[in-house]
Structure 1
Amino acid sequence: MTLILTNDDGIDAPGIQALIQAVDGYKVIIAAPKDHQSGCGHQVTTTNAIALHKRSENTYAIAGTPADCTRIAISHICKDVKYVLSGINAGGNLGVDAYISGTVAAVREAAMHGIPGIAISHYRKGKLDYNWDAATRWTKKVLGELFTHPLEAGSFWNVNLPHLLPDAPEPEIVFCQPCVKPLPINFRIEGNNFYYVGDYSKRDRTPDSDIDVCFSGNIAITQLTV
């Protein structure tokens, strides 16, 4: 089974290295943005050239967005793809974040072409360090579950890993609904300039939604549609 691996933090980000470790034993092709593309949503490049640099037999750095990477990977690098995996993103992609996230856009693009996809993100509490070893371990567990779980046509999985302290119990996998409450709209204003200062950790959330599940210390999995 061939897997396409991509992300929006860039091909050299620690999260995609953690994802590579999580799929050890599978045939993989890495087709990820050359540069950081976080928050670009489902932007695609249609009027400029997209440069592709082949780093190795199965690794490609692409000067485009995550959706561009998926488009090029499934149309020109490998046409027999079983899954597109995106991540592991440094930061949560919960609820309405899915509309902003380049991580999620990469697998949404795959779903548009009939290819199942899984977006994986690692929520971060405040400025605490990421635990990429734990993220790899949890991702292996999640993929073992989702690779055998049927997906409806035009849908994909959005996975959010929690941020836990070292002595916390192992998280449970919880299938849930995405929260539809908006991100906080708070700005600091200096003259004519607006600086966003919304507190992600204090965002409003529906009980038992993906935000509630992840913030409570468990792995939130939602099924989204294109």
Structure 2
Amino acid sequence: MHVLLTNDDGIDAPGIAALCESLAMACRDPMLEDLEIAVSTIAPDRERSECGHQATLGRPLRIITGANRRWALDGSPVDCVRVGISQFISPVDLVLSGVNNGGNLGVDLLTSGTFAAAKEAALRGVPAVAFSQIRHPDFPVAWDHVPAWISPLIARAILDVAAAKPFLRNVNLPLESAVGDRAQPRIIDCDVDPTPFQLDWAEMGEAECQFSTSYHCRPRVPGGDVQSCFAGSISLTHFDLDRLVGG
């Protein structure tokens, strides 16, 4: 099995290092001991957050070779997946995107480069999972908990690929402070919350304006991905591959 890692925070982001460590932990699961798993990484050469499903067609893409099957690309996360599942490397069986430094919940999915990478893979027939970690300015950034939290979900994805089950999934990790004394948050299957942000409008001058919002005070539908993750659970959303485009 060949697993491709990518993200939208850039090749040197700590989140993709945490994802690699999480995959290594998942591969130690006894249920996977008979599987031979190869790993490649193709990620943007710099941060490409909130680029959505942007793709590059009007110019060549520059590929920067690194060690241990790692490449940086001067393009978007979608570009990285397109390169990765093309003839550039051997056929890819699973794409893992993230771990994003910030949540990708609800309407965030419209602008998320992390989710777009996974969606591009799924549209092209490759199972994929996007991972994101909610952040709050009042709490320090940490990554050490991530492998224990998501390695079971990665192991599950690998087993589902082996069983020939196509899928697209989006996973969000809660703030550690919301988890309390639980070593492992609950994983809740939930739908995408379609509620838009409440926007504040400000005129900045004669020809300028600015919108602002509060990410942590956003509306939330009971049982949706926003409410579930903000309440301290890992939100897991499954997408119908037949409805990724259109109604």
For the criterion TM > 0.5, the same-fold answer is yes
Residue 115, structure 1, aligned to residue 126, structure 2: yes
Given candidates 199, 202, 217, the residue that maps to 2:214 is: 199
Given candidates 192, 199, 208, the residue that maps to 1:185 is: 199
**Distance in structure 2 (CA, Å) of the matches to 1:82 and 1:2:** 5
Percent of aligned positions that are identical: 36
Please report the TM-score for the alignment, with normalisation by the length of structure 1.
Answer: 0.93
**1:74-102 per-position Cα deviation (integer Å, ceiling 9, x unaligned):** 10332421100000000000011111100
Please name the residue that 1:68 is paired with: 79
Please name the residue that 1:81 is paired with: 92
Residue 162, structure 1, aligned to residue 174, structure 2: yes
1:1-226 equivalent positions in 2, closer than 5 A: 1-24=1-24, 25=27, 26-149=37-160, 153=166, 155-165=167-177, 167-169=180-182, 170-191=184-205, 192-224=207-239, 225=241, 226=244
Contact 1:172 1:219 in 2 (8 A): yes
**Distance in structure 2 (CA, Å) of the matches to 1:14 and 1:122:** 12
Contact 1:130 1:163 in 2 (8 A): no
Contact 1:6 1:16 in 2 (8 A): yes
Query: Per the alignment, in what secondary structure is the counterpart of residue 75 of structure 1?
Result: coil
Q: CA offset at residue 143 of structure 1?
A: 1.4
**Distance in structure 2 (CA, Å) of the matches to 1:127 and 1:76:** 45
The residue identity in structure 2 corresponding to 1:201 is: H
Contact 1:142 1:173 in 2 (8 A): no
Query: Per the alignment, in what secondary structure is the counterpart of residue 217 of structure 1?
Result: coil
Q: Alignment length, in residue pairs?
A: 225
**Distance in structure 2 (CA, Å) of the matches to 1:15 and 1:83:** 18
The residue identity in structure 1 corresponding to 2:172 is: N
The residue identity in structure 2 corresponding to 1:7 is: N
Q: Which runs of 5+ in 1 are unaligned?
A: none
Please report the TM-score for the alignment, with normalisation by the length of structure 2.
Answer: 0.86
Contact 1:184 1:200 in 2 (8 A): no
Displaced runs of 4 or more, over 4 A: 149-153
**Distance in structure 2 (CA, Å) of the matches to 1:101 and 1:110:** 14
**Distance in structure 1 (CA, Å) of the matches to 2:130 and 2:152:** 14
Please name the residue that 2:32 is paired with: none
The residue identity in structure 1 corresponding to 2:168 is: F
Query: Per the alignment, in what secondary structure is the counterpart of residue 147 of structure 1?
Result: helix
The residue identity in structure 1 corresponding to 2:188 is: V
**Distance in structure 2 (CA, Å) of the matches to 1:151 and 1:122:** 28
- Say if 1:145 and 1:206 are closer, same or farther in 2 by CA, change over 3 A: same
Across the aligned residues of Structure 1 and Structure 2, the Cα RMSD in angstroms comes to 1.8
**1:141-192 per-position Cα deviation (integer Å, ceiling 9, x unaligned):** 2212333347865x41000000122853131011111101112222333113
